[in-house]
Structure 1
Amino acid sequence: MEQIHDTFAIEIVDYSEWKERNRKNNFFELVYILNGKGLHRVNHIAYPYRKNGIFLLPAARCHMYVIEKKTRFLFLRFTASYFLPNPNETVDYSKWFNSLNFIIGNHDYLSGELIDNLDDRMQLKRLLDIILYEYQKKAGCSTFIIQNTLVSLIAIISRNIQDKKYRGHHFTDKKIAEILNFIDFNLLEPEKLTVGYLSQKFNISKNYFSEYFKRNTSQKFQDYLICSKLRIAGARAKFTDVSFQEIASELGFTDSSHLNRMMKKYTGKGMRETRKEIQNNRN
């Protein structure tokens, strides 16, 4: 596999019969079906795939393919650190980190065909064509173009996961769906998650906001914030090699001990137990 960056790689392979591939635990992998059909098995559940199918696999997920017709796969692999700030760059990728965290925290919605919307599916294909072209070209600005195109690609995936997440929910007040969506995409920006900020942004009385939130979600506002952060923390523990201290710092917990206490309080399991879950599933 040829690489342009040690945290990003593309591979195109043809398989008539599936062969086990070596996947690093800290990589996400986007799979695009260029041709062929068969079944995609994730954690022992089978999902059909076909030409132009798109899947996104969090790191460490147990998966394989049952190939019914010779298949050409495009594997695009990356880590979150591919977008770490570079002192020589002026581009702010913070929104990309928000989208990636949303995807990580809602990985349960990733199983099976990723994109239901036909227009979005074609848009993703165009973006993948750009990434593949620049990857092969390796010109002066290729890495920059790939990064920015991948940002757009992740945003489209986030939008489709969002649609799946709230599908079937019938909120009596549509504004609450907008608030929940805003919170989910801004969990790394605490200044945007205060009652004062949210009440002003969504034109709700500051004194009434907490009551309004609980009435429409059956959950206290602060509990929802903590549970949303813990959902991401748990997914990070399972699907990345990031230290617990880094996870705690990024999500606004005092330290790893504080994060661990909250995890045990709300889920009944600490961070170490959560990380071991995925390891046990792989053995």
Structure 2
Amino acid sequence: MKSLQLFTDKEITIKELAYNSSGLHKHNFFELIYVLDGSGIHNINSNRFAFSKGDVFLLTPDDEHTFEVNTPTKFCIVDFTKGFFVRNRRIDDTEAGVGKLYKQLEYIFHNHHNIKGSVISSSDRSIFKALIGQLIKEKNKRQFFDEIIIQDIIFLLLHFIARNIQENISIFSKRENPKSRVHEITAYIQQHIYDNELLKVSSIASHFGKSSDHLNRYFKDETGSTIKEYIIRYKLNLVKTRLKFSDLTISEIAGELNFTDESHLNKMFKGAFGKTARQYKNELKH
């Protein structure tokens, strides 16, 4: 199996497959795949999904995949590394820092596997088609502000995907338990995970029109965890994501997620995963 690497922070390519399979491979970067034409089967981590024109797939680092095409197929593929999300990165002093955007998009990297197959809704297919078309134009014709426009289009595409993932999880949760509000509570926590004030149980309770005691009891009855325990667990999973997909130091991650310091983060991380954050980071290098 091939393992592919990317040596720039983003790359946009058009790829055509006329027959058979693309060969099983994995990446150490993110990959957004838009089907311009054709049909077949997309095998992701041993799961098989039918695809056709207009479908969209999102792969995170280390996902294994291959295509089996039924008809000649053309893809627009957007590859981007963790460098695409570096804080305060600028292009010719015109590109805005993307650290805040990365925080908003972390939701995708934790939840994209909750959607089986294509990651966009039918109502978004027309806007995706237009945005991908513009992305290809910007790539092929060098113009003023093309880099920042390309970046903005990629982020807009990812935000559509994030919204669809959240809507799908919400629909599934309501179908499983129509009266439960757990998904709304966890979605609120994930949305405000960097704001300690809004993460206070009293603030969450106020948002949902409940008392703190009532909300905490309700959440524990539904999930088996207190709200505070859920927040810590989600933060620690974000730590894993940051260690794997960014160049931030453990100290910087501790600061962003409002741990007291690196030592506090390491202690909590070891309690949850049996190893410190530094040990986990060192293992990723091997």
What is the rounded CA distance, in whole Å, between the counterparts of 1:105 and 1:35 in structure 2?
Answer: 29
Residues 25, 64 of structure 2: 8 Å contact kept = no
Q: Does the alignment pair 1:181 with 2:187?
A: yes
- Cα distance change, pair 66–228 in 1 and its aligned pair in 2 (3 A): same
- Aligned identity (percent) is 29
Equivalent position SS for 1:14? strand
Residues 108, 165 of structure 2: 8 Å contact kept = yes
* Of 143, 161, 169, the match for 1:139: 143
- Cα distance change, pair 265–153 in 1 and its aligned pair in 2 (3 A): same
Relative contact order (alpha carbons < 8 A, sep ≥ 6): 1 or 2 greater? 1
Residues 104, 232 of structure 1: 8 Å contact kept = no
What is the rounded CA distance, in whole Å, between the counterparts of 1:260 and 1:248 in structure 2?
Answer: 9
- Cα distance change, pair 216–236 in 1 and its aligned pair in 2 (3 A): same
What is the rounded CA distance, in whole Å, between the counterparts of 1:199 and 1:59 in structure 2?
Answer: 37
Q: Shift of residue 58 of structure 1?
A: 0.3
Counterpart code for 2:220: K
| More off after superposition, 209-218 vs 83-92 | 83-92
Counterpart code for 1:65: F
Aligned to 2:105: 100
Residues 26, 64 of structure 2: 8 Å contact kept = no
Q: Does the alignment pair 1:120 with 2:127?
A: no
Q: How does 1:249-260 map to 2 (within 5 A)?
A: 249-255=255-261, 258-260=264-266
Q: How does 1:27-176 map to 2 (within 5 A)?
A: 27-83=29-85, 84-86=87-89, 88=93, 91=96, 93=98, 96-115=101-120, 117-166=121-170, 167-168=172-173, 169-174=176-181, 176=182
Counterpart code for 1:102: Y
CA RMSD of aligned residues (A): 3.3
Counterpart code for 2:259: F
| More off after superposition, 16-25 vs 178-187 | 16-25
- Cα distance change, pair 95–165 in 1 and its aligned pair in 2 (3 A): farther
Residues 40, 47 of structure 1: 8 Å contact kept = yes
Unaligned runs of 5+ in 1: none
Q: Shift of residue 29 of structure 1?
A: 0.5
- Cα distance change, pair 81–254 in 1 and its aligned pair in 2 (3 A): farther
- Cα distance change, pair 203–106 in 1 and its aligned pair in 2 (3 A): same
What is the rounded CA distance, in whole Å, between the counterparts of 1:262 and 1:107 in structure 2?
Answer: 26
Equivalent position SS for 2:197? helix
TM-score (norm 2): 0.78
Equivalent position SS for 1:172? coil
- Cα distance change, pair 119–265 in 1 and its aligned pair in 2 (3 A): same
Residues 98, 185 of structure 1: 8 Å contact kept = no
Q: Shift of residue 222 of structure 1?
A: 0.8
What is the rounded CA distance, in whole Å, between the counterparts of 2:71 and 2:162 in structure 1?
Answer: 30
What does the per-residue CA deviation read over 1:156-185, in whole Å, with 9 as the maximum and x for residues that have no partner? 1111211333314425254x4333212122
Q: Shift of residue 28 of structure 1?
A: 0.9
What is the rounded CA distance, in whole Å, between the counterparts of 2:258 and 2:196 in structure 1?
Answer: 8
What is the rounded CA distance, in whole Å, between the counterparts of 1:46 and 1:237 in structure 2?
Answer: 30
| More off after superposition, 105-114 vs 13-22 | 13-22
TM-score (norm 1): 0.79
What is the rounded CA distance, in whole Å, between the counterparts of 2:214 and 2:280 in structure 1?
Answer: 39
